[in-house]
Amino acid sequence: MATYRSPLAPFFSDPFFRRFFEGIVPEERQVPIKGLGTGFVFRSDGYILTNEHVVSGADEIKVTFLDGREFEGKVIGSDTLTDIAVVKIEAQGLPTISLGDSDAARVGEWIIAIGNPYGLSHTVTVGVLSAKGRPIAAGDSGQEYENFLQTDAAINPGNSGGPLLNLEGEAIGINTAILPYAQGIGFAIPINMAKSILDQLITEGRVIRAWLGVVIQNLTPEMAEKFGLKEAEGALVADISPDSPAEKAGIKRGDVILKVDGIETPDIKTLQQTIRSHRPGDVVDVEIWRDGKVITLKVTLAELEESISVLPVTEKIDLGLEVGEITPDLVDRYALREKSGVVIVGIKAGGPADDAGLRPGDVILEVNREEIKNLKDWEAAISEIEPGETVLLLISRAGQTYFVPLKAEEPQS
């Protein structure tokens, strides 16, 4: 087993838990102290699986084993969309946990969770696999984490990143989240999801995903009737990203996607999983329902842009936040509706933005009543502000706009 120390305190100061449970528990101010998490060795030459949120933003990662040995860890690959990360330590001949088959796991079977709850290292709890395929919506951002395993084995803050084992000692999941208002409900990422991206995380440091470029929603029976469909099955295209593969192929708003390469797509989840199973450059047949007819279009999938252009606040002032351009990756990650502006991608614990309740995924539309369309506009607006001044931001969050005042601080040396 491996224990991680990050710059953030555990539990609801953990940004992952804050994304999931905002509105359920009171907001707490983040304190920049050591945090705890868990991971497990899956390769004897020092490769460790954990959660992305456990190591994200950490200045230093320390891995501690049961026998007291400590190693410095380095993140070699991480993926926000699945909350999976790989950490490497310089060691050989380590004992490992075998990766099982989460698809073969059955609801009701006994499972074991191991972790570091509240700093109580190498804690073992038992329970059953309560359910499979659970989606969890991440707070106001709307980002949905799909296909979680649910268990009643005790999972507490600090367990994140630890293994969920079957009775053969194989990892079938990565412990990830709890519901703070309920007893006996915890969640784990299916290990098959991790297995499908491990090679890319190790070799590329990230996951290369295919991109279709549509905003989609599930059909209701009432909507299906209006579109002339007998069943409420298919993914309704609500919007098209400009210059996207979908736009180039002729997909339009109001089309209903029925199949991709012969695979039925009765809902959003199935369509997303089908597209993610492909690689950028793949040509797929997309069967759509339009104006009472079935049409098949050939679409060349592009790469979902993972690189994010990020600008911290200039050295002249400190607002305690970092912003990025609106990219397909951020649109997908935060379920953004805005076409212009800049996205908050990082919040400094205890800074002005944190105190004002801003969060990653908020879109800044104005600074001091000046419209912000992109990073260039943001940089120009911020360059005119002096320490001590009040900055008025217009924020968009989940389709609602708010004015938020921040006091610009002197940068810390």
Q: Is 122 tagged catalytic?
A: no
2 vs 7: CA distance, rounded Å: 17
Any idea what the Cα angle at residue 56 is, between residues 52 and 57, rounded to 5°? 180
Q: How far is CA 287 from the centre of its chain?
A: 29
236 vs 216: CA distance, rounded Å: 5
334 vs 400: CA distance, rounded Å: 14
Set 14, 79, 83, 329: catalytic member: 83
Q: Which two tokens stand for residue 131?
A: 């359910």
Sequence-distant (6+) residues with CB within 8 A of 157 are: 10, 11, 12, 14, 17, 36, 117, 118, 178
Q: Which two tokens stand for residue 231?
A: 């069943």
Which residue type occupies 59? D
Which residue type occupies 8? L
The position carrying tokens 């502006």 is: 341
Q: Is 241 tagged catalytic?
A: no
Q: Is 278 tagged catalytic?
A: no
Which candidate, 8, 37, 187, places its Cα nearest to that of 121?
A: 37
Phi, psi of 357 (to 5 degrees): 85, 10
208 vs 144: CA distance, rounded Å: 19
Give the residues across from 143 on adjacent strands: 138
User: On the CB side of 378, how many CA atoms lie within 13 Å of its CA?
Assistant: 26
| Number of neighbouring beta carbons within 10 Å of residue 78 | 22
339 vs 318: CA distance, rounded Å: 26
3-state class of 237 per DSSP? strand
Set 56, 78, 130, 160: catalytic member: 160
3-state class of 404 per DSSP? strand
Set 53, 79, 141, 318: catalytic member: 53
Question: Please, are residues 5 and 35 in contact by the beta-carbon 8 Å criterion?
Answer: yes
Instruction: Give the catalytic positions in this structure.
Output: 53, 83, 160
